[in-house]
Amino acid sequence: MIDRLTDGFSACHLFPQRPQLHFHPTENQCSCCGGEVLVYKTVRKLVTTLDVGEFQSVETQLRCKHCQAIYRSEELRALTPQGGKFGFDVIEFVGRALFTGCRAESQIRSELAARNVAISENEIRFLGKRFIVYLMLAHRECSEALKHHMEVGGGYILHMDGTCEGDSPHLFSCIDGLGNIVLGNRKMPTEDSQHIIPLLQQLESEYGSPIGCVHDMGGAILKSVRQVFPGIADFICHFHFLRDLGKDLFDFEYRTLRRYTRSYNVQAKLKKCAKQLKSVIDETPLLSDSLAGYLNIRSFRCVGKDLDQRIMTYLLVSWVLEYSSASHGLGFPFDRPHLEFYRRLQETYPMLKQLKQQGVEGIPLGVMQRTLADPALKKLAQRMLEKTQLFDALRKAMRIACPDKTPGLNDPGDDDIKTIESRVSQFRHSSKIVSLAASDTSYHKMVKQLDKYWDKLFADPIEVETPSGKLTIQPQRTNNLMEQSFRFLKRDRRKKSGLHSLAKTLKGMLADTPLVRNLSNPEYVSILLKGKGSLADRFAEIDIQQVRQEEKENERRWRKYPKRMCRLFKIPDLPQRLIKMLGN
């Protein structure tokens, strides 16, 4: 009953036909010179808001008799941008639906149609970009309030990183690690210091210098930080450091191991074997029931004597093929799936050989034997295993992305920095590492990297003055804030578009799109709104000319060719036409 009553108050029921609403300025005399104001003209336009739907606005404009100043209706100005059709509430609805709700344009169009708002998918995409521009301008206008907010908490720690896909531009973002607030963003052709330095200079002018910086080992970022923030505490992300160190240590062995195992085509033969065995099991009720009974057992430590050899073979071959299940989602070098595949081959080969002797058909023992008997491959796997064991020992010493932990890419690390430094120092100066570094180039390079970045890995906590007294701050050991921000951004875009590759999306995306993450922060939203009740009300205070200027700048900055030039590319005889023009 309540639902039927509320449905009756929707815009489509209240206004089945387009209404006409009149708007007038409130001025009785000119605020500039005090002169008399007279009716200048009446302007009609179609306006669409969430509350009313589409309506005809009739605005009476006034003009000063003496200074010619023109006065418009503030009420209409609060509803929709000058010259715009859709209200600020529609812009906010579309922006939130696109960027926080991850809904597709077609879905948003249907939702708005139910509220008597007729809009095309192209208009939804346009309003989505306009939402980001409004958000960026509002963010820029509250920089002083944000600066004060951060100063009360002791300042800000600047986390910075960039992301790209394929041939897309780099999206570079900067986040306050203490308040988890996105402060600035920029799209750049490459992650180069000439593009990063202006962004850092802009942040310094708006928020002052950070109390510390956290980033990866990129040379462009290191150079930019040295130039813009000399003397500021500078930290290297432990996760990025370990990732780069591991790649340097055994990337060559890993790539070679992967190439060798693929050349034997052993994986394809095992897949064929598993498929044949599954077909036999599925077609034999006794076997399928036996497999189901075994899988229902909580502990798989022992196998009953009555388990058929074909089922045992199927379990072993499937275990080898699912080698990637041993990974923890950290990526190389923390996860080494191809080394795990080779290890599983080694472990199952004796059992599979015995099962084949007992009469199980289809087991590709020949190709397995050739793969495991290859002396170069065996030596390569052994060398890589030794390197990964030392690398994992360093991971445990640094207590981040540890093999025995499951937080994955969200792992912030544990233990205090001095304890970690002591453990890593023991690792670095152990007799084994010293000996290996003296005889092996890859270990020597690992030790050199540790020594080079030691001060940036194990810096002391920062002591700062705040209005409430001294405060000791220990920056995060990782740049996971940035990694999470980019993962959320990419996940949301994939969810909305259904595409795995985001190269095209990143090309068309406005640089300040990451600012939408701040809308989940209540303190930030309170600062951004400046006392207004909603984003729509806040956007109404921003000059539309600023918005349009930013839109033009964004279009100009990333337009590959001049406007309408792409039409020329479809002309098959363009060279001949141009030659004729030159001849004339």
Encode pLDDT of 350-375 as tens digits.
999 999 999 999 999 999 999 999 99
- Answer whether residue 410 is part of any domain: no
> Does 149 share its domain with 169?
yes
| Alpha-helical regions (H) of 44-181 | 74-79, 88-99, 105-113, 121-141, 143-152
Q: Give the confidence band of 557 by pLDDT, cuts at 50, 70, 90.
A: confident
pLDDT(409) > 60: no
Q: What angle do CA 53, 55, 57 make, to 5 degrees?
A: 140
**What is the predicted pLDDT for the residue at 301?**
57
Cα–Cα distance measured from residue 351 to residue 264, given in angstroms and rounded to the nearest whole number: 21
Burial of 215 (0-12, 13-18, 19+ CB in 10 A): buried
Task: State the pLDDT at residue 482.
Answer: 66
Domain presence at residue 403: no
Same domain, 103 and 151: no
Tell me, what's the pLDDT at 7? Answer: 47
The CATH number of the domain holding residue 200 is 3.30.420.10
Over residues 472-531, the pLDDT tens digits come to 777 777 766 666 666 666 666 666 655 555 556 667 778 898 899 999 999 999 999 999
What share of the chain in percent tops pLDDT 90? 54
Give residue 137's pLDDT band: very low, low, confident or very high (50, 70, 90): very high
Smallest CA-to-CA distance from 44 within 12, 76, 75 is with 76
Looking at the fold, whether 127 and 28 belong to one and the same domain comes out as yes
- From the list 68, 416, 542, 477, the residue with the least C-alpha distance to 238 is 477
User: Would 124 be classed as within a structural domain?
Assistant: yes
**Residues 131 and 15 grouped into a single domain:** yes
Closest residue by Cα to residue 187 from 176, 201, 198:
198
Tokens describing residue 215: 């980033």
Q: Is residue 360 part of a domain?
A: yes
Return the structure tokens found at 498: 């259904």
Over residues 76-105, mean pLDDT: 91
| 48 in a structural domain | yes
Residue 542 pairs with which residues in a beta bridge?
none
Judge whether residue 471 has pLDDT over 80.
no
Are 210 and 158 contacting, i.e. CB atoms less than 8 angstroms apart? yes
What band does 26 get if pLDDT is binned at 50, 70 and 90? confident
Do 121 and 14 share a structural domain? yes
> Which of 373, 394, 409 is the last residue in one of the domains?
373
Q: In which band, very low, low, confident or very high, does the pLDDT at 1 lie, cut at 50, 70 and 90?
A: very low
Per-residue confidence (pLDDT) for residue 538, from 0 to 100: 96
> Do 23 and 57 contact (CB within 8 A), yes or no?
yes
Kindly state whether residues 172 and 122 are assigned to the same domain.
Answer: no
Tell me if 220 sits within 8 A of 167, measured CB to CB.
Answer: no
pLDDT score at 386: 95
* Structural domain span for residue 172: 142-237+479-511
The whole-angstrom distance between residue 448's C-alpha and the CA centroid of its chain comes to: 32
Torsion, Cα of 363, 366, 368, 374 (10° steps): 180
Q: Are residues 132 and 10 in the same domain?
A: yes
| Pair (9, 110) in one structural domain | yes
Around Cβ 527, how many Cβ atoms within 10 Å?
20
CA pair distance 468, 154, nearest whole angstrom: 9
pLDDT at residue 300, rounded to an integer: 57
How far separated are the first and last CA of the chain, in Å rounded?
78
Q: Specify if 557 maps to a domain.
A: no
Residue 477: name the closest of 394, 400, 396, 425 by CA: 400
Do 191 and 70 belong to one domain?
no
What tokens were used for 492? 């949301």
The CA-atom distances, in angstroms, between 498 and each of 103, 104, 363, 485, 502 are 11, 10, 39, 19, 10
Nearest CA among 141, 112, 140 for reference residue 127 = 112
Q: What's the average model confidence in pLDDT over 392-405?
A: 81
Say how far apart CA 349 and CA 354 lie, in whole Å.
Answer: 9
Q: Region 258-267: what's the mean pLDDT?
A: 93
Mean residue pLDDT across the chain: 86
Distance, C-alpha 396 to centroid of its chain:
27
Task: Give which of 138, 231, 162 is closest to 486, Cα–Cα.
Answer: 162
Residue 296 belongs to a domain: yes
Q: What are phi and psi of 453, to 5 degrees?
A: -105, 10
Do the domain assignments include residue 98? yes
Same-domain check for residues 21 and 132: yes
**Domain final residue, candidates 352, 373, 394:** 373
Residue 329 confidence (pLDDT): 80
Report the alpha-carbon distance of residue 454 to residue 397 in Å, rounded: 14
Q: Is the pLDDT of residue 456 over 50?
A: yes
pLDDT at 572 over 70: yes
For the chain, the domain total comes to 3
Residues 105, 229, single domain; the answer is: no
Task: Indicate the residue among 77, 110, 136 that finishes a domain.
Answer: 136
Please check whether residues 126 and 182 belong to one and the same domain: no
Q: Report whether pLDDT(405) > 60.
A: no
pLDDT tens digits, 236-246: 888 889 999 99
**Taking residues 199-211, what's their average pLDDT?**
95
Give the amino acid at 264: Y
| pLDDT classification of 321: cutoffs 50, 70, 90 | very high
